[in-house]
Structure 1
Amino acid sequence: MSIITLTTDFGTKDHFVGAVKGAIYSELPDAKIVDITHEISPFNITETAYILKNSYKSFPDGTIHIVGVDSELSNDNKHITIELDNHFFVCPDNGLISMIASEINPTKIVEINIHDRIESSFPVLDVFVQVACFIARGGNLTVIGKEIKDYKKLIEIQPKVNQEKNKIIGGVVYIDNYGNVISNISKKMFNSIGRGRRFKVSASRYFFTKIFAKYNEVTGDNAHDSIQYDGSRLAIFNSAGYLEIAIYRSNLETVGGASTLLGLNYRDSITIDFINDSQPDFSPLT
């Protein structure tokens, strides 16, 4: 039996998550349900895209991902099922799939058309669950809708490069549980555009000329006395491969996180300027 994951902005106070799980078990009593998160900021598509991209790959092929963020049906927000990278995504066509599909092209995209039989103000429960269970039973995607060729692109998810290729212009797409600020600039893009040149990362009124591979590298040779570095700001490529502005050993209740201490919020600009220099002092990270 396929695994079915849930990613929503429902939170856990209300009945929504329980109702969705109950509906799945009613259809598939032996289903395996995994909560990725229900703590997406309300209607935050970019945050959803980041979390989904960096979680789905850990699941086995054939996993079905139900995504319930900004899912109310409208002429501008259709419901789709996407087969991509040997996974299935049942979600609104609001751009949240953009970050995943920017590197891997979908195998099949189907616009769900069972709504003429179901009228609902809770489509995750009444529509997405039915579609996910149908796929789990081995159903063909074209039975639940018509195949389409494209999906909605979310432009803000992708960073931009200026014509001279000496600047990457990105932005904040996610703030994690530690208050660390994650941008949409990938290490792959950084190395491709930077080509070993010196650089300056600018975030708010702060800048960085070094990007670490690990958080504790900020302590240098003083790892035995690392407590003196608590609260130090640093830039790092995180485990997902994206540029992150962090506070070393941040604690939101005491030291604070990069978001609050540096005044960085969702959609704020983060840029990298590359310096053309005959003797660069920086080598691309591997």
Structure 2
Amino acid sequence: MENYLSKKIIALITDFGTRDAYAAVMKAVLLKANPALSIIDITHEVNPFNIESVSFLLYSSWDYFPQNTIFLSVVDPGVGSERNILLAEQKGKILIAPDNGSVTLLYNKKDNFRVWTPSLKALSLIPAPESSTFHGRDIFAPLAGLISLQGIETVAGEAASPVLLNTLKPVLDKKIHTIRGRIIHIDSFGNCISSISAEDFPETRKTGKSGNAGKTEGSEDTEITEKKGKDKKTAKLKTAVIKTESTEIKGIEEYFARVPEGKALSYFGSTGFLEIAVNMGNASEILKIKAGDGISVYY
């Protein structure tokens, strides 16, 4: 039986949809290159050209895939232009994507996330592109097949500094107790996911007087300080005000049923990002929120 850890997985994410043949053709090219591949569709329903959404979907999926996964991301409004192609690696997982900001969240939040451009030698090993508008088929899929057979070491060229989206970095203003971000993804339930993550929210840090220098991490005083800090942060979450261009919500809840059916709420979702939802409803439609809208948290 094949060693599980040696099995190569391709994780696909595109904005091709499933109505046309584009996604299927990419899969066919991958399997022609390496019939032993397993292919998993993350999604082909990214809103066309929405790079912020791609960055979120890649980041929120990354940790749940095993080593030897090759993420193949083709949301590429700059296809055919001089934009670079990126290869990246982190803890045994590989990403192939256009250099358009789609790696932003992974690059900013994951340790040891290394990035290269493909080597000229590697590019010479794949057939010349048949089209200037379908690099997913003609370049990205053949590169993924090559990496699955030979490893990233034989394909990676020079180290690269990727394009990063400043819009995905929340702005914290401690003087006026505000975090500003934007809506970066609307999921299939209509939940509105923001660029603000739980780790962006100000933590109440441990404090101590100079006379406490001898206290250890597990001491009673430290435990009391940590509990007070958590209580203060919980209080901040309960009294925070979340505003978008079309709505205002008070408090950050733990789960949907904390509010009555049909009522709007905010909460930190399963991916760790602040979201806006309507219990048993579609927040995007009801509250008229769309991707790209601004969002502010006042605490």
Please give the TM-score of this superposition, normalised by the length of structure 1: 0.83
Q: Which residue of 1 aligns with 2:243?
A: 202
Higher helix share: 2
Q: Which residue of 2 aligns with 1:131?
A: 143
Does 1:74 pair with 2:75? no
Q: Which runs of 5+ in 1 are unaligned?
A: 219-228, 251-256, 275-286
Contact 2:115 2:160 in 1 (8 A): yes
**How many equivalent pairs are there?**
256
Q: Which residue of 2 aligns with 1:148?
A: 159
Contact 1:85 1:104 in 2 (8 A): no
| Identity between Structure 1 and Structure 2 (%) | 29
- Compared CA separation, residues 106 and 16, structure 1 to 2 (3 A): farther
Q: 1:145: how far off? A: 4.5
Q: Which sits farther off after the overlay, 201-210 or 19-28?
A: 201-210
Contact 2:10 2:71 in 1 (8 A): yes
Q: Which runs of 5+ in 2 are unaligned?
A: 1-6, 206-231
Q: 1:106: how far off? A: 4.4
Instruction: Write the mapping of 1:3-82 to structure 2, written as runs, cut at 5 A.
Output: 3-70=9-76, 72-75=79-82, 77-82=83-88
Q: Which residue of 1 aligns with 2:298?
A: 273
- Compared CA separation, residues 166 and 177, structure 1 to 2 (3 A): same
Q: 1:199: how far off? A: 2.4
RMSD: 2.0
**Residues 45-72 of structure 1 deviation map (CA, whole Å, 9 limit, x = unaligned):** 0111111111121110120011010161
Q: Which residue of 2 aligns with 1:190?
A: 201
Where 1:12 maps in the other structure, the secondary structure is coil
Q: Which residue of 1 aligns with 2:218?
A: none
- Compared CA separation, residues 105 and 147, structure 1 to 2 (3 A): farther
Q: Which residue of 1 aligns with 2:252?
A: 211
Aligned-partner residue type, residue 96 of structure 1:
S
The structure number with the bigger radius of gyration is 2
Separation in 1, partners of 2:188, 2:20: 22
Contact 2:88 2:96 in 1 (8 A): yes
Where 1:102 maps in the other structure, the secondary structure is helix
Where 1:267 maps in the other structure, the secondary structure is coil
Q: Which residue of 1 aligns with 2:180?
A: 169
Where 2:289 maps in the other structure, the secondary structure is coil
Q: 1:164: how far off? A: 2.2
- Compared CA separation, residues 106 and 151, structure 1 to 2 (3 A): farther
Contact 2:170 2:195 in 1 (8 A): yes
Q: 1:125: how far off? A: 1.1
- 1:260 alignment partner, one of 261, 278, 285: 285
Contact 2:170 2:200 in 1 (8 A): no
Please give the TM-score of this superposition, normalised by the length of structure 2: 0.80
Separation in 2, partners of 1:53, 1:80: 16
Contact 2:249 2:264 in 1 (8 A): no
